[in-house]
Chains A and B, each alone.
Chain A
Amino acid sequence: KQEVTQIPAALSVPEGENLVLNCSFTDSAIYNLQWFRQDPGKGLTSLLLIQSSQREQTSGRLNASLDKSSGRSTLYIAASQPGDSATYLCAVPYNSGYALNFGKGTSLLVTP
């Protein structure tokens, strides 16, 4: 069974810092990996989708990398802002299926 782990569970940083969120998964036979953001009381917002053939994807201040062989992905946030405060989740498809298996997320707080 695919297990997804996110470290750290919570993170607090001052505004302006660059930071890295980590995601690991146990089954490297994945088609893709997705990073999401969830604000309190809200649904999830897709941030980045990395296909298995890709090593990284970038969107604005966000950069996500994927290393299938080691079962790891990182989400890099540059020049963090208070508006980045949210929970960040990574997800991979269950084995050969379509349903996504989510980590429990990293709760990020960026202080002014």
Chain B
Amino acid sequence: GAGVSQSPSNKVTEKGKDVELRCDPISGHTALYWYRQSLGQGLEFLIYFQGNSAPDKSGLPSDRFSAERTGGSVSTLTIQRTQQEDSAVYLCASSYDRGTTGELFFGEGSRLTVL
């Protein structure tokens, strides 16, 4: 596709369950970002992947959160043992970074609701 694709667009889960969110970046983009946007809050950086380098995980809020990027393309964000405070919109973005942050292109997001 032409843009960043995220799935599912909506996910409702029960507290304690694990969830996986998927991001398919723009073809050729070397960098991939995950952000979280909670109601009334700004965008919170979670994790950054660049090529084959070790990811920048400095924004992950707890060890229940993890992410991987396979083959330098598709990424999966996994939240284990979900809590109600995990409810948010999870946004993925990709860019062609070369030396510094390039222009970011965002997906439509995955809205997670933890009951």
Binding site for B on A (CB under 8 A): 31-32, 34, 36, 42-46, 49, 89, 91, 93-94, 97-105
Tally inter-chain residue pairs, CB-CB below 8 A: 65
CB neighbours (8 Å) of B93 from chain A are 44
* A101 to B43 Cα, complex, angstroms: 8
Q: Is B62 an interface residue (CB 8 A)?
A: no
Inter-subunit contact A98/B91 (CB<8 Å) = no
Q: Mark B98-115, 1 if CB is under 8 A from A, else 0.
A: 001111111111000000
Interface residue SS majority, chain A: strand
The smallest beta-carbon distance between A62 and chain B, in angstroms, is: 14
* A44 to B94 Cα, complex, angstroms: 12
Inter-subunit contact B43/A43 (CB<8 Å) = no
Binding site for A on B (CB under 8 A): 4, 31, 33, 35, 41-43, 45, 48, 50, 56, 58-59, 91, 93, 97, 100-109
Q: Identify which of A42, A89, A93, A105 contacts B100 (C-beta below 8 A).
A: A93
CB neighbours (8 Å) of A100 from chain B are 33, 43, 45, 101, 104
